[in-house]
Structure 1
Amino acid sequence: MKIEKRYLLNYSILIPYFILSVLGLIVVYSTTSANSIQSGGNPFGSVLTQGIFWIASLIGIALIYKMKLDFLKNQKVVGFILSVVVLLLIISRFFGATINGARGWILLGPLSLQPAEYLKVVMVWYLASVFSSEQELIASSDYYALTKNTFFPRSFTDWRVAVLISLGVVASLPDLGNATILTLLTLIMVSLSGISYRWFMTSLGAIVALSAAILGTIRMVGVDVVAKIPLFGYIAKRFSAFFNPFEDLSDSGHQLANSYYAMSNGSWFGLGLGNSIEKNGYLPEAHTDFVFSIVIEELGFVGASLILGLLFFLILRILLVGIQARDPFNAMLATGVGGLLLTQTFVNIGGISGLIPSTGVTFPFLSQGGNSLLVLSIAIAFVLNVDATEKKKALEEGQPLY
């Protein structure tokens, strides 16, 4: 029995995606229109641009959904795409526009391309392709199958080389947020490869210990010393704000302190959609990095919690697809996408709440940023394709659906 994929669309993933995307358009208008009017611009300018990217995202979802997963599994295909993205990263590093002290944007007329955003989903895709092809070796040799029993890579085709080069270029922009996400994504994908859980726990412990050591060292030597390191001056300000945002309200602590004010203003039920005080020139990046602070201010703790709950529901549905998938590549790809969304949400909320240093990472679907929306939509398309392909194969073979 041959079944068309269009009848197997997972609406428990697609509908939350639609709702969050539409909410994102509303939030983008709310956080940008007032400043646009004050500067004499079009109050709908930002939301129109975001809308164009959303339409492109829907087209991308339709195209990727129709693809055969055998094409996505091809390591030559994903390796080529990864090489292109890294090349674009290098171009943006040396010739791209500088925004907030960091490079990473390639300007294309009125639009801008941020390769680091695309690198995240491509890295999940790449590692899923590589690790799924080594399942027999992993089953017999555990972690050593991933390293070919060598501490140092012997070939440029080694996945560790790809990860280190990618991380190095992103860190040199400098882009602390995406470098952090890439590191955590690599840890997630390695843990999903089938190796023993002790390697995951050891790696996670090492990352936590290293992060604590770095923060402790910066605290002891002083942020001013870190600020003298080339390229990392603006990152030093973020660390300064993390340690005490109210110590320098006019400079390094300005964003985080006003983020606290915004969340405090929101209380339980918020000031009302469009009625934020902090977005009117008080909180920089209110439409991108700190957009969830404005959401809390306007919709309150209750409204923001409902949005966060919907996002977590989407993530759980994506993780469920990965957990129930029978094919190793499908399982790693879907679970990796869930890990990407969860990691990005954690890093953003951690930054705006002061749990971790602010890293300039956008909030999924709600922040202004066409690149971010397009990347997350591609990730959703991968999961929808995986889910439909797994169901189609099960039905055609007469097996029970998961």
Structure 2
Amino acid sequence: MGVISRKKQSNSGKKEKKVRRTPKWNVDSMLGSLAVNYDASVALISGILIAFGIVMVFSAGYYTTTNFYNDPYYYLRRQLAWVALGIGVMALFTQWDYHKYAKYYWVFAVVSVGALALLFTPLGVTVNFATRWFQLGPLRITPSEFSKLAMIIFTAGYVAERPRRVRTIYVFVLFGVMIVHLGLIIKQPNLSTAIVIAAIMIGIMYVAGMWNGWLVLAALALIGGLIFILMFYPDSHWYARMTNFIDPFKDAQGEGYQVSQGLIALGNGGLFGLGPGKSITKNLYLPEPQNDFILAIIGEELGFVGLVVLLSVYLLLIYRCFVITVRAKDKLGFYLGAGITVMMALQVILNVAVVTASMPATGITLPFVSYGGTSLLVFMASMGIMLNISKKNRG
């Protein structure tokens, strides 16, 4: 009897343990799990920037779409559709272990080069003397935006597979892939994207331990020399850009028109801005105000204070990405995070530089805010990768 009673007690104890381990599937437990498993601040800040971008795209493009499309909600609907798709992409990369796809890093490089090369076939679409897009039905795809993420995955995967590669002759494989990308992107022409890709790849190589001063200097000299030749060759597209951005009002009705209108918009905004939706420059003065120069409209409507707040939000997001990167549990996560952080920071800096006439005007979007589906998908996918890295860190 004593043995039987002890068995019953042990069985009842086991049953009680099973009951205690049964999960409670309610909203509180799911939200608590999300907060524990991921860096919620990255998701929250990204969501704030995306929501702000939707509002500003609607405001900046309202007058243009009303006049040219007879539909004031044209850009708004398209941006919302891209955001909906981006949420799915972000969720996929958040759950998808980055080790599983990064091992196919060569595939990303080959596909990226192939897509960029196809732009110079009849499939490429030329707008305003730049060939940067594919037209797939109602969608316009920008391959160079995907190339940024592809080069992050390629460089991180290549280096993480054998970290000593960056300190041997095999590092020239990375420089070779970089030069091919730069040549195809500058040919579009698109200088700022070429700068971002070069910075991403060199940044990952640097944090991976490539500190052979002569090699870094040789790489930078090669890239700088290529850009210099293309810019200052008198018959090139960049020669006019370089000679006009220094004083855009010198040719305010020609090559310097867009930059000069952007500066006028920033000046109109003053300290506190004209108010949401009250921009004057977006009313057919500034071409494509919802795209690369949306920062000028933000400055006009929300003023200097609004710009400071926006840039502070970006700074906070970059900081959180940096924290996730330095806490990464393996080299691959560290290199992926470093590439994404460099891309985010540099793209914000270059967009501000273009709008304020600190560098030649070229196609560089403001992350999460500018109108453009491809760029939005790339940045939302990047934040999904950062969230996945943060999940591994906490695990």
Q: State the Cα distance separating 1:248 from its structure 2 match.
A: 1.0
> For residues 320-399 of structure 1, what are the structure 2 equivalents within 5 Å?
320-392=323-395
Distance 1:209 1:66, change over 3 A: closer
CA contact (8 A) 2:102 2:157 kept: yes
TM-aligned CA distance change 1:199 to 1:73, over 3 Å: farther
Shift of 1:197: 7.5
**Distance of 2:288 and 2:199 partners within structure 1:** 25
Does 2:113 correspond to 1:86?
yes
Cα distance change, pair 376–292 in 1 and its aligned pair in 2 (3 A): same
Change (3 A) 1:207 1:188: farther
1:187 pairs with 2:209: no
Does 2:85 correspond to 1:56? yes
Partner of 1:262: 265
Q: How far apart, in 1, do the equivalents of 2:214 and 2:88 lie?
A: 40
Q: Which residue of 1 aligns with 2:161?
A: 133
What residue is the counterpart of 2:182 in the other structure?
Answer: 167
Distance in 1, matches of 2:59 and 2:218, equals 41
AA of the residue aligned to 2:320: R
- Opposite residue 336 of structure 1, the aligned amino acid is G
Q: Could you list the per-position Cα deviations for residues 116-149 of structure 1 after superposition, in whole angstroms to 9, with x for gaps in the alignment?
A: 00000110111011111222x26xxxx532x238
1:1-400 pair list within 5 angstroms: 6=34, 7-74=36-103, 77-95=104-122, 96-135=124-163, 137=164, 143-145=166-168, 147-148=169-170, 158-196=173-211, 198=213, 202=217, 206=221, 210=225, 218=232, 226=234, 228-229=235-236, 232=237, 235-392=238-395
Map of 2:16 onto structure 1:
none
Alpha-carbon offset, residue 160 of structure 1:
2.8
| Identical amino acids, percent of aligned pairs | 26
Calculate the TM-score normalised by the size of structure 1. 0.84
Corresponding letter in the other structure for 1:181? V
TM-score by length of 2: 0.86
1:48-93 deviations in whole A, cap 9, x for unaligned?
111111111111111111112320331xx22213312221211122
Query: Take 1:92 and 1:375, find their aligned partners in 2: how far apart are those partners?
Result: 19
Residue by residue over 1:199-238, the C-alpha shift from the partner in whole angstroms, topping out at 9 and shown as x without a partner, is 69746974897599669x83xxxxxx62x24xx3xx3332
What is the CA-CA distance between 1:174 and the residue it aligns to? 1.7
CA 1:277–1:207 in structure 2 vs 1: closer, same or farther (change >3 Å)? farther
Matches of 1:332 and 1:340, distance apart in 2: 12
Counterpart CA distance in 1 for 2:44 and 2:215 is 33
Alpha-carbon distance in structure 2 between the residues aligned to 1:200 and 1:18: 40
Q: Distance in 2 between matches of 1:338 and 1:354?
A: 24
CA pair 161-214 structure 1, distance change in 2 beyond 3 A: closer
Measured in 2, the distance between the counterparts of 1:196 and 1:61 equals 34
Residue 73 of structure 2 aligns to which amino acid in structure 1?
A: F
- Structure 2 distance, partners of 1:41, 1:197, is 58
RMSD: 2.4
Q: For residues 146 and 344 of structure 2, what CA distance do their matches in structure 1 show?
A: 13
Task: Tell me the amino acid that sits aligned with residue 271 of structure 1.
Answer: L
- Structure 1 unaligned residues grouped into runs of 5+: 219-224, 393-402
Cα distance change, pair 208–259 in 1 and its aligned pair in 2 (3 A): farther
Unaligned segments of structure 2, at least 5 residues: 1-20, 22-29
In structure 1, the residue matched to 2:8 is none
Instruction: Tell me how far apart the structure 1 counterparts of residues 88 and 218 of structure 2 sit (CA, whole Å).
Output: 39
Q: Give the secondary structure class of the aligned counterpart of 2:366.
A: coil
**Residues 193 and 332 in structure 1, CA contact (< 8 A), matched pair in contact too:** yes
The DSSP-based 3-state class of the residue aligned with 1:130 is: helix
